[in-house]
Chains A and B, each alone.
Chain A
Amino acid sequence: MIGTDAGFDIADARSADATAERPYWIALSLVPGIGPVSFARLLARYGSARRAWGAGTRMLADVPRAPAGATEVLRRLRRSGPMVITRGLERQLRLLGGQLLTPLDAGYPPALGSVAAPPPVLYLAGDAEALHVPAVAVVGTRRPTGYGRSCATEIADELARAGLAVVSGLALGIDGEAHQAALAADGRTIAVLPSPLDRIYPPRHRDLAARIAVSGGALLTELPPGQPVGRPDFARRNRLIAGLSRATVVVEAPDRSGALLTASAAIDIGRELFAVPGPIDSRTSSGTNRLIADHLASLVTSPWAVLTGLGVGRGERPVVAASLSESEALALGTLLRRSGSIEELVTRTGVSAGALAGALTMLEARGLVTSYGGATFHPTLAARRIGKGR
């Protein structure tokens, strides 16, 4: 078995005696300090996980950043033996409604083949089928503006309706909006977690995670249950988000945002990258605007521009019928051209602030506009469909 220094070939891995080898992969991946890169190096040096395991603590010489306790943990793991470890882990995962996947399993997502250092073990909850649907990642800042939320919703909605899985990181902000929009459109969505399955991060998205898992989507992570979460885990999962997806859309990201790491991961493995432009005075869009300016990402010109770019046809769009009063129609019509605060609407429509405030409450109640708790109002998907229905 030949592996490169940075990774290993999934097809190669499968050709080995998979059933015998699998428990050793799982056991080896549990040794502290053995991440995807060290794992690949060990495979290359010893030929198989089984032989690496056989080498005992000597193999830690090939793990450059093994923590102090690694030897002790390895000794303990070796006393239990790979079979016992695997069975215990699988039992634990079953309780969480999860399973584990190694590149030796047929269910391992093929799209991860081109990722540098694919994870030797993936922990999954939900529908494993979701990993085999063509997918597009929608990522962005945890602190989006209303504009970003609205864009994420519309793009994810278009993707889900077109039958693509929406991949994101379950974070607050853009990630959450993308997952939610995909669920609302009855689509599949995959959340790549920075945490193990038994401690969903962020806790505020626990409900969302549960809904993803039961509605044809999947929760995916590299971390075994019980593992504490560290900062690098956030960066590491970004490469999985990009790797699982045919294309990555960055909706809103300031400079030095985690979403930009996902973007560069997509570039590294040669996947399509899209970025949603933002106002040039908006700090929250400075990262995405730079991606476009540097010709690293394609400019997203409409919610379905990603579909066009990938050559995928648009899904069906239901048309909503609604009857509106004059001032409500005026407010909504103005917002459909461009989102804005009540103050901006006053200047654009000439209607008084008080009357507009009332009209917007009514539009909010009917699910046609939303302010995401801020001062700026955005038309919702339903509102856009009225626009198109006319």
Chain B
Amino acid sequence: MLAQAHTAALLGVDGVPVRVEVDVAFGLPSLTIVGLAGSQVQEARERVRSALRNGGFEAPARRITVNLSPADLPKDGTGYDLPIAIGVLAASGQLPAVARLASCALIGELALDGALRPVNGVMALVAAVRDAGADEVVVAALDEREAAIVSGIRVHGAASLAEAVAHVAAVRVLPDAVPPSSPEVAALSGPDLADVQGQLVARRALEVAVAGRHNLVLCGPPGVGKTLLASCATGLQPALDADEALEVSRIYSAAGLVNRTRPLVRERPFRAPHHTVSTQALVGGGPRVRPGEASLAHRGTLFLDETLQYRQDALEALRQPMEAGVVTIARVDGALTMPARFALIAAFNPCPCGWLGSRRMACRCDDAIARRYAARMSGPLRDRIDLWIPMEEPAGAGSVDGVEPSDVVRRRVERAWGRQLERQQSANAEIPARLLDGELLQRSAARLLAQRGRRFHLSPRRLHRAMRVARTIADLAGSEAVRGEHVDEALQYRPPVAA
């Protein structure tokens, strides 16, 4: 007999609907899974068999063939256990004919005792089966809250195979899961700008950077507060709005990093991968594509402390998401994209010993070595930086009065965001180049920028970046027009000419 069940496969951060076809035929007892099933799926044979037996069902001693369709899509993960098990029951006549297998999708891993376990990326999977036409979906009880975030489909959490079977057979219908109410944003735990000593320029540049979601470089000797300042970035930005929260939660769900009791991510991500991170871990990829740090920092901040210590290929791999806002991974069977619209904060020392250009300590690096070190920030990467701030030790012990705490700055940033969204529905850093040459700048400011560009030998790309930053500075000042003074301030934060 033949049966079909519906589920979904995880590809990056997106789900792809998958049909599970089960055929139970006479022959030597066996369970074969075909359809580019990876090793995790192959192991489903043992889990399904045991779960059926221990869950109070019969594991048919027949020749069972399972096909996962589309058969040319490589599949991995453990979420196929439940649809396979129920498919086997249906195909072997253990389910009453009323089974709603056509409209109820199934996602979950089975334990040997028949309990249902959570899987990664449930949000994306549920959205995929919904888009494929399913009216309801059964997931593991632990995945219920996460799955319920997805609207437009009824979600049921089942603790065991038996519960899931009872639901599908309409013997005992499971209650609908309630979508989690939007959680309160917890008080931000990061450091406050008031904790940062001095560094008025870097502080201002950080404000401009977060206000327009621009990329920022902090370059200076050890101990001047680069890391502390960067850690303040999240506290200066408003929490994720509802749409952003969905996008970000989905990525965290796919990465298996979601908090299952509070699955909706509301805090703006701040990712600070260690400098030994591999290229795959940074931008995502691998045989089983998982979102990398760049995607985990989507809508938030990617902080690379000691940026020049990172592997060169890892740094270069960031260029594409910095430009496009998505990570594209080429695979044998086509390209796969994952969102990665992060704002980069890169902090590093100017040379290996750290003291180049410092007054307090003499730099001990060989000239050629220092130059090679600085060159790790390659030209193309440097071209994608909006603000570049050289930092040095605070001038004196006397601190400046009236240093603003984070929430004062955040209120200004929130107003600037409001202006940007109203005007162009995106952050200033994401304004496409074709819009820049139009009416973005006042005519006099545009002339000034062109003049400065010739004077400082700036590339057209650099001028575009300066325009976006000037737009943000004007937004912070509450000015609809971008004036010369905004352009000049933006240009002050330009990267130095490469040595």
Contacts and interface: CB of A to CB of B under 8 A. Distances in A.
Interface of A: 142-143, 145, 172, 254, 279, 281-284, 340-344, 346-347, 352-355, 357-362, 364-365, 371, 373-376
Contacts of A358: 485-489, 492
Interface string B365-381: 00100000000000000
A145 B398 CA distance: 23
A357 B359 contact: no
Nearest to A325: B485
Nearest to A256: B362
B408 interface: no
Interface in B484-499: 485-489, 491-493, 496-497
A274 B485 CA distance: 43
Nearest to B390: A375
15 contacts: A143-B363, A281-B359, A284-B359, A340-B395, A341-B395, A342-B200, A343-B395, A347-B398, A347-B400, A352-B204, A353-B204, A358-B489, A360-B492, A362-B488, A373-B496
A145 B359 contact: yes
Contacts of A344: 395
Q: Which of B204, B356, B392 has the most CB of A within 10 A?
A: B204
A122 B360 CA distance: 41
B360 A365 contact: no
Given A364-B456, A365-B455, 18 more contacts: A143-B363, A143-B367, A282-B359, A283-B359, A283-B361, A341-B392, A343-B200, A346-B200, A347-B398, A353-B200, A354-B204, A357-B201, A360-B492, A373-B496, A373-B497, A374-B390, A375-B220, A375-B390
Contacts of A347: 395, 398, 400
Contact of A354 (B395, B452, B473): B473
Interface in B251-293: none
B392 A375 contact: yes
Contact of B489 (A282, A283, A354, A373): A354
A361 B391 contact: no
B392 A374 contact: yes
B181 to A, nearest CB: 40
A79 to B, nearest CB: 40
Nearest to B391: A375
Given A341-B392, A343-B394, A365-B455, A279 B359 contact: yes
A373 B494 CA distance: 10
Nearest to A348: B395
B234 interface: no
Given A361-B489, A376-B392, A353 B452 contact: no
B495 to A, nearest CB: 10
B451 interface: yes
A281 B455 CA distance: 35
Given A357-B489, A358-B486, A359-B488, A281 B360 contact: yes
Contacts of B488: 357-359, 361-362
Interface in B336-366: 356-357, 359-363
B198 interface: yes
A374 B367 contact: no
B203 interface: yes
A221 B145 CA distance: 79
Interface string B444-472: 00000001100110000000000000000
Residue among B390, B451, B497 with the highest chain A CB neighbour number at 10 A: B390
A364 B452 CA distance: 10
Query: 10 smallest A-B Cβ distances: which pairs?
Result: A358-B489, A358-B488, A357-B492, A283-B362, A361-B488, A373-B496, A353-B200, A353-B204, A375-B392, A361-B492
Contacts of B491: 361
Nearest to B199: A343
Given A284-B362, A357-B201, A375-B392, A365 B452 contact: yes
A353 B203 contact: yes
A355 B473 CA distance: 11
Nearest to A172: B367
Contacts of B496: 373
A352 B203 CA distance: 12
Nearest to A171: B367
Nearest to B389: A375
A243 to B, nearest CB: 26
B416 to A, nearest CB: 13
Contacts of B356: 143
A283 B363 CA distance: 9
B365 to A, nearest CB: 9
Nearest to B360: A281
B451 A365 contact: yes
B357 A145 contact: yes
B84 to A, nearest CB: 62
B489 A365 contact: no
Nearest to B220: A375
Nearest to A360: B492
A231 to B, nearest CB: 13
A230 to B, nearest CB: 16
A145 B395 CA distance: 15
Contacts of A357: 201, 204, 488-489, 492-493
A343 B486 CA distance: 19
A325 to B, nearest CB: 9
A354 B492 CA distance: 9
A352 B400 CA distance: 12
Contacts of B489: 354-355, 357-358, 361
A355 B359 CA distance: 26
Contacts of A354: 204, 208, 473, 489
A262 B356 CA distance: 24
Contact of B201 (A172, A343, A361): A343
